[in-house]
Structure 1
Amino acid sequence: MSDLQKAADKVTDAAKGAAEDALDSAKEAARSTRRAANRALDDAEEKLDEWDEQLRASSRIEDLAARAQDFANRGINYMADSSQRARRQFHQAADATNQYVQEQPAKSLVIAAAAGAAAAVLVMLARGGGRGDDR
């Protein structure tokens, strides 16, 4: 083999080695880039999952708040209806009492006196019988 041939073979081998080194470097860079991209995608997916969970929690909170508001409104309406019914029943009882007093004045007077006496007895019993006992 001639010197020129040997020199050409050396240059070819060196070029081949450099090409293989460049190829290996490119492959490693591609693997490194792929790993970095996968980590970035995993991080992005985690963040999206967190946001999704936060949105769902927010939605649940809004749903609970709406239910609580509905429950409060129903409670207020129920109390207003109950109050209205109680007023109506009180007025009916008062009207019936007035009518009874007009129709039966003597009997009403006796019932009122008996009720007053019973109330007085209860008050006296509660105060110790009114005997002057010092306690």
Structure 2
Amino acid sequence: MKNPLSRTDETLSGAGRLSDQLMNGAEKAVDNTRAMANDTLDRAEDKVRNLRGNIDPLVDKLASQAQKLARQSLDMASEASERAQRSMHRYADATTRYVANEPVKSVLIAAAVGAAVALMVASSLRHRDGH
């Protein structure tokens, strides 16, 4: 029969070995978890870099399109202004020709328009003053 102290020593020794094994297992688990976390972070960082690389050209493309639209808008506004100026010149030329060809009618028309404007102004002044 074995000595009870010897059994206790064996039990303590076995418990120590089990404790060491558990500690080693826990350390390995922590190391594995740390490695997986680092790997996941590295992959996430790579994805962020890829996204940033994809976004920069997209922003450049959008800015380029905005500049193109602004340029087109300015060109359209310029063309509209030129058309309006040409129309005004045509109307001014037609009016000048009419006045030159029909001076008496032109004076009568101008007098009638002037009288109508004067009546409208006088009427609005009377209404504003409360008369």
Range of TM-score over shorter length = 0.5 to 0.7
Any stretches of 5+ residues in structure 2 without a counterpart?
A: 1-23
Q: Which residue of 2 aligns with 1:118?
A: 116
Alpha-carbon distance between aligned partners in 1 of 2:76 and 2:40, rounded to the nearest angstrom: 53
Equivalent residue number for residue 106 of structure 2 = 108
Number of the residue aligned with 1:84: 82
Q: Percent identity?
A: 28
Between 46-55 and 98-107, the greater mean CA deviation after superposition:
46-55
2-structure distance, mates of 1:129, 1:39: 85
- Displacement of 1:74 in angstroms is 0.8
Root mean square deviation of aligned Cα:
2.9
CA distance, structure 1, for counterparts of residue 98 and residue 32 of structure 2:
97
Tell me which residue corresponds to 1:49: 47
Letter in 2 for 1:101: V
Task: After the TM superposition, list the runs of 4 or more consecutive aligned residues in structure 1 that deviate by more than 6 angstroms.
Answer: 28-34
Query: TM-score, normalized by length of structure 2?
Result: 0.68
Equivalence for 1:73: 71
- 3-state DSSP class of the match of 1:128? helix
* Letter of the structure 2 residue corresponding to residue 57 of structure 1: I
How many residues align? The count is 109
Report the counterpart of residue 61 of structure 1 in structure 2: 59
Does 87-96 or 30-39 show the bigger shift? Answer: 30-39
- Residue deviations 1:62-103 (CA, integer Å, cap 9, x gap): 222112111111110000000000000000000000000011
The TM-score with structure 1 as length reference comes to 0.66
* Separation in 1, partners of 2:119, 2:98: 26
Return 5+ residue gaps in structure 1 as ranges.
1-24
